[in-house]
Structure 1
Amino acid sequence: MRRRPLPLLALLSGLALLATACGGGGSSGKESAKASGGTTVKVAHVPSTLFAPLYLADAKGYFKEQGLNVDLQKVKAGQDAVPLAGTGKVDAVVAGFSAGLFNGLAQGLKVKVVASMGASTGEQPSPTALEVAQRLLDSKEVGKPADLRGRKVAVAGGAGAAGGYQLAATLRESGLTLKDVTVVNVPIPDMANALADGGVDAALAPAPFTTAMEERGVAKPVAVPPRGTTATGVVFGNDFADKPAAEKFLTALRKGAADLQGQGARAEENLTILAKATGQKLDVLRKTPPYQWDPQLAADQGQLKAMRQAYRDAGLLKGKAAEE
């Protein structure tokens, strides 16, 4: 008998249970390697320090310890890669959670959210920040987030991307929503130029691009996402989620996350790995404030629900996804 798709809220409520089920203690590296025979896991990702546990687990051999050969495949937009997991073209996607994910889940997309990734510290300096063009700060046209009402704000992927939720969370502190600004889709590497030439007035940018544009004198931060704000994580295709390799993959990821606790996020060895993985300059990463990672990389149900609400308020969810 064919099973009917679960309602979206039921899907969301099950995410934390799935993450726990995929966690476990795992077996030792030698035992895993022997049992798996070197299972290949295809992982789509957008290079970012948000996903540091992934790169550390790869570079330090934590995946190998679990008997996994991880094939990291770069993509331009994680939100576009999620359907690839649903069709089995990749096993996992490490990326931002977009409005498209919620729409897809409501329509029966065969994926599961199994873990979180980098979260905001809520402190300044922050790895992700709402940067305002220096020209507007100098002219005093903009001095606080509320002054951005009606102005253009750059977000990679647009309002429905993960950055859209981070912007919504940041603006909420000033009583604004995504509908109170004009969100412009600008690739992260192009944000600094867009701010400099007047194409946009502000940008929600991640590290280390925030540090780079500040050092260039193009912009300064006026607000940061609240502590714990996260819009990124790990998505498994349903078929892969049911395999032993899925648990092993998360075990290795958590070992990478453990290396980032405390001062580990600033350890030279780890920064060197991140510089190579993301293509960023090591000296910039040394100056960049780190994200924070839950040691267990647990899927945050509160953030997922808040994310869905923000996308719904902005009119970005359709059909069942937009229903209560």
Structure 2
Amino acid sequence: MRKAIARLKARTVSALLAVMLTAGLPVAAFAADAVRIGYTKNAGDAALYIADARGYFKAENIDVALVYFDSGARMVAPLGTSELDVGTLPGSAGLFNAASRQINNRIVADRSRSAPGYLYQTLMIRKDLIDSGRFKGYPDLKGLKMAVAAPGISILSVVNEAMKKGGRAYADVEIVFGGFPQQVAGFRNKTIDAAIMIEPFATGIVASGDAVRFISTEDFYPGDQFTFLVYGERFATARTDVAKRFMRAYVRGIRDFNDAIDNGRWAANARGEEVLAIIAKYLELKPEQIKASYPHACDPDGDINLDSMRKDLAFFRQIGEVTSKDIKVEDIVDLSFVHAAVRELGPYKPAN
């Protein structure tokens, strides 16, 4: 009974807020709902930055707090204990393993992915290996030290696809772990040979002359689903109305982000410049630094590439990172929130 009353109150408040916002009336009388978001402070969180900067969360009476993590994989546990409400995570063995222990964090929307013409995530090779002829193509990945951001994440599956492209096995490359800033230092100090790197780090290391952008991961792993927006179980089930309002704001941010991109590059217009300024502010960089880098792809309706997730799950099982034989991709994905938001907001209409 108490849950039913709480749901009725939440719906009533939500309806009143919608009426007041439509009429342009102040909503300060209603205390904003606090939402704690885990983020890794890179350009992949652009939709969140936009939604925050442009007041989309405030319009839904939500007060967001961004909590920094050095790796998205580290957010799995605090999401499960409700220390975080929302996280921005890569695909990981941890998400599947948590679900097998009845920790039901939910992947709810797209955050970043690969697509034709996008160079956000690339296979980087140390420049001196290119110059010397040691590295000429995919088969030469054998024996190299390949850096990835963290253990147990889907980039390991991306490495596997690169090795298969060259007729090699996953075991033929030496994996070393380190965050993207550490990878930059590793190329400079010649302690790593290759990396699957994202922006703006990739553009920065190319500019320094320490590494070469060999090829986009789209070449050997088309449609790779890099990262997701994830809800903690309690946020999705006990604060459902807040979770729905959060998603509306997030989808508006995704769509603004897409409107700032033109054929895989930042649009050379006011929309592009405004979004670059927002991202630069949150990353504490200059807009010119962001503009020189490549944006990621993100579905304007927040949909997920489930086939990419299935490929990654099969790989995690292959290397023993996921031992449950019963867990499925569908067990950790809940697109009901984003689909509801899209129905309410209407079809995406590109500005470009």
Q: TM-score range by the shorter chain?
A: 0.7 to 0.9
Q: How many residues align?
A: 297
1:235 Cα offset (Å): 1.1
1:309 Cα offset (Å): 1.5
Match in the other structure for 1:191: 183
Match in the other structure for 1:104: 98
C-alpha distance in structure 2 between counterparts of 1:276 and 1:306, whole Å: 36
1:303 pairs with 2:294: no
Match in the other structure for 2:283: 278
Decide whether aligned partners of structure 1 residues 147 and 28 sit closer, same or farther in structure 2, where only a CA change above 3 A counts. farther
Deviations for 1:146-203, whole angstroms, at most 9, x for unmatched residues?
2111211011113x12432333344443344533311100221121221232211101
Q: Which amino acid aligns with 1:247?
A: K
Farther off after superposition, 126-135 or 258-267? 258-267
C-alpha distance in structure 2 between counterparts of 1:143 and 1:29, whole Å: 62
Q: 1:30 aligns with which of 21, 43, 49?
A: 21
Match in the other structure for 1:222: 214
Q: Which amino acid aligns with 1:230?
A: Q
Q: Which amino acid aligns with 1:86?
A: G
C-alpha distance in structure 1 between counterparts of 2:166 and 2:18, whole Å: 48
Write out aligned runs for 1:69-84 (5 A).
69-84=63-78
Decide whether aligned partners of structure 1 residues 197 and 115 sit closer, same or farther in structure 2, where only a CA change above 3 A counts. same
1:36 Cα offset (Å): 6.5
1:91 pairs with 2:82: no
1:223 Cα offset (Å): 2.3
Match in the other structure for 1:11: none
1:274 Cα offset (Å): 0.8
Match in the other structure for 2:128: 135
Decide whether aligned partners of structure 1 residues 320 and 40 sit closer, same or farther in structure 2, where only a CA change above 3 A counts. same
TM score, norm. by length of structure 2: 0.78
SS at match of 1:290: coil
SS at match of 1:296: coil
Percent identity, aligned pairs only, is: 26
C-alpha distance in structure 2 between counterparts of 1:295 and 1:177, whole Å: 36
Q: 1:290 aligns with which of 280, 286, 295?
A: 295
C-alpha distance in structure 2 between counterparts of 1:170 and 1:80, whole Å: 26
Match in the other structure for 1:147: 140
Q: 2:231 aligns with which of 236, 243, 259?
A: 236
| Structure 2 stretches lacking a partner, 5+ long | 1-16, 330-352
Match in the other structure for 1:245: 242
Write out aligned runs for 1:37-76 (5 A).
37-76=31-70
Deviations for 1:86-145, whole angstroms, at most 9, x for unmatched residues?
111111111212111111112211311111111113436x11111000010011001112
Decide whether aligned partners of structure 1 residues 63 and 323 sit closer, same or farther in structure 2, where only a CA change above 3 A counts. closer
C-alpha distance in structure 1 between counterparts of 2:285 and 2:276, whole Å: 10
1:285 Cα offset (Å): 1.0
1:255 Cα offset (Å): 0.3
Is residue 37–residue 66 contact of structure 2 (8 Å, CA) maintained in 1? yes
Decide whether aligned partners of structure 1 residues 195 and 302 sit closer, same or farther in structure 2, where only a CA change above 3 A counts. same
Q: 1:182 aligns with which of 153, 174, 181?
A: 174
Match in the other structure for 1:258: 255
SS at match of 2:108: strand
RMSD of Structure 2 on Structure 1 (CA): 2.5
Decide whether aligned partners of structure 1 residues 210 and 151 sit closer, same or farther in structure 2, where only a CA change above 3 A counts. same
SS at match of 1:121: coil
1:306 Cα offset (Å): 1.4
Decide whether aligned partners of structure 1 residues 131 and 36 sit closer, same or farther in structure 2, where only a CA change above 3 A counts. farther
C-alpha distance in structure 2 between counterparts of 1:95 and 1:203, whole Å: 19
Q: Which amino acid aligns with 1:225?
A: T
Is residue 141–residue 163 contact of structure 2 (8 Å, CA) maintained in 1? no
TM score, norm. by length of structure 1: 0.84
C-alpha distance in structure 1 between counterparts of 2:102 and 2:94, whole Å: 12
Is residue 78–residue 84 contact of structure 2 (8 Å, CA) maintained in 1? yes
Deviations for 1:32-77, whole angstroms, at most 9, x for unmatched residues?
9689641111111111111211111011111011111111111111
